[in-house]
């Protein structure tokens, strides 16, 4: 069994660079770049649960040109053999069919596969943020309280 570890600084830099290239290519409709950085076995699951393979996602990007902007927060990147798993927040500004725009906020899990010196996207799933009917766990409440106390103390 392969060890699961945090990405090395070089791996992290390379993965963040290919993620930045993905964002720019989605916004620009750059299908050549997307074809290069998407693995042929890509599975892309959009927020509403629509599943696309590589060919369908390229068609989606080329015909709909829905991506107006993409912002990512801090990504946690773990590596297992030749696979990397990146998770973190995303905010997409998207064009609607009627020309209006909407904001999609969520958390993304991306799986990349190493191909020589390059990383290619193998899987992508966006889970939209929604109502948390259960609220925070006791451990999350304690962590938030501790963080608030540290912030207040630092402000003094």
Q: Is the pLDDT of residue 1 over 70?
A: no
pLDDT in tens, 81-134: 999 999 999 999 999 999 999 999 999 999 999 999 999 999 999 999 998 888
Among the ranges given (1-10, 69-78, 81-90, 96-105), the one the predictor scored with the smallest mean pLDDT: 1-10
pLDDT confidence of residue 136: 86
More confident residue, 23 or 135: 23
CATH number for the domain running over 4-131: 3.10.450.50
pLDDT confidence of residue 153: 80
CA–chain centroid gap for 40, Å, is 18
Q: Which residues pair with 114 in a beta bridge?
A: 119
CA–chain centroid gap for 70, Å, is 10
Task: Give every CB contact of residue 148 below 8 A, 6+ residues apart in sequence.
Answer: none
Using the Cα atoms of residue 20, residue 65, residue 31 and residue 77 in order, give the sign of their dihedral. Answer: positive
Measured between alpha carbons, how far apart are the two ends of the chain, in Å? 49
pLDDT band at 6 (very low <50, low <70, confident <90, very high): very high
Domain ranges of the chain: 4-131
pLDDT confidence of residue 144: 87
């Amino acid at each position: 069994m392969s060890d699961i570890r945090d990405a090395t600084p070089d791996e992290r830099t390379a993965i963040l660079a290919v993620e930045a290239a993905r964002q720019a290519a989605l916004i620009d409709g750059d299908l050549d770049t997307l074809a290069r950085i998407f693995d042929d076995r890509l599975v892309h699951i959009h927020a509403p649960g629509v599943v696309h393979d590589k060919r369908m996602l390229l068609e989606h990007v080329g015909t709909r040109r829905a991506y107006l902007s993409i912002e990512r927060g801090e990504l946690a990147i773990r590596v297992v053999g030749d696979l990397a798993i990146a998770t973190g927040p995303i905010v997409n500004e998207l064009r609607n069919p009627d020309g209006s725009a909407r904001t999609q906020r969520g958390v993304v899990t991306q799986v990349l596969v190493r191909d020589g010196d390059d990383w290619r996207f193998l899987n992508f799933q966006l889970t939209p943020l929604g109502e948390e009917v259960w609220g925070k766990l006791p451990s999350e409440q304690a962590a938030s309280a501790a963080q608030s106390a540290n912030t207040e103390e630092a402000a003094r």
